[in-house]
């Protein structure tokens, strides 16, 4: 009888861990799918805005359309490669790879596409068992799963401002794409 109870307990605990593991695996899969859709939409937004309007700002203290675009790339790189991956963060004062600098519209679109691809590859290969690890996120204690959700919100936040900039310039933004 004791062996049956022990065996039943082991099976139940094992099933619970398998269920948790499967949920994490699904999270990564669904997150990557969302990021791939977000990439397509972001590139469509960037391509739709004429290069002459890339320096447009809603107010003098706002980021320009181009700065929003490259800031999204910077944030993806920092959240994935540095915060979650442990790579030393880029130096904002000296690193120009993910800044507007003197980049053309095409160069910025190529760079944001490349950064999305690197982020997608990183997250696709991320050990889902580490999603529960906790980090200091600007003074808040957050799991790596939460960091990914914050990154998605951040991308949406800046892209939405870019869409408003398009409207302020008399342009019709690309139709919204679901599941991103």
**pLDDT for the residue 180:** 60
Question: Could you list the mean pLDDT of each consecutive 10-residue stretch along the chain, which spans 180 residues?
Answer: 64 57 76 96 97 97 98 97 93 92 97 98 96 95 97 97 98 83
Interhelix angle for 2-48 vs 144-168, to 10°? 20
Asked if CATH classification 3.30.390.30 holds for the domain at 29-168, the reply, yes or no, is: no
Residue range 83-127, pLDDT digits in tens: 999 999 999 889 899 999 999 999 999 999 999 999 999 999 999
The residue ranges of every structural domain in the chain are: 29-168
**pLDDT for the residue 92:** 85
d(CA 63, CA 85): 28
* Chain CA centroid to CA 57, Å: 23
Residue 67 near residue 100 (C-beta atoms within 8 A): yes
């Amino acid at each position: 009888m004791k062996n049956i109870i022990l065996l039943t307990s082991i099976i139940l605990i094992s099933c619970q861990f398998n269920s948790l593991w499967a949920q994490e695996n699904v999270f990564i899969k669904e997150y990557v799918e969302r990021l791939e859709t977000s990439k397509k939409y972001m590139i469509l937004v960037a391509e739709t805005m004429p290069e002459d309007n890339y320096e447009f700002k809603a107010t003098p203290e706002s980021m320009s359309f181009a700065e929003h675009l490259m800031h999204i790339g910077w944030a993806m790189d920092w959240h994935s490669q540095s915060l979650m991956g442990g790579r030393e963060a880029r130096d904002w004062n000296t690193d120009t790879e993910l800044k507007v600098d003197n980049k053309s519209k095409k160069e910025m679109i190529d760079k944001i596409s490349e950064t999305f691809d690197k982020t997608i590859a990183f997250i696709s290969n991320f050990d889902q068992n580490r999603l529960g690890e906790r980090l200091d996120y600007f003074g808040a204690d957050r799991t790596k799963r939460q960091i990914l959700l914050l990154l998605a919100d951040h991308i949406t936040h800046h892209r939405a401002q870019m869409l408003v900039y398009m409207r302020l310039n008399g342009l019709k933004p690309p139709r919204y794409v679901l599941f991103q």
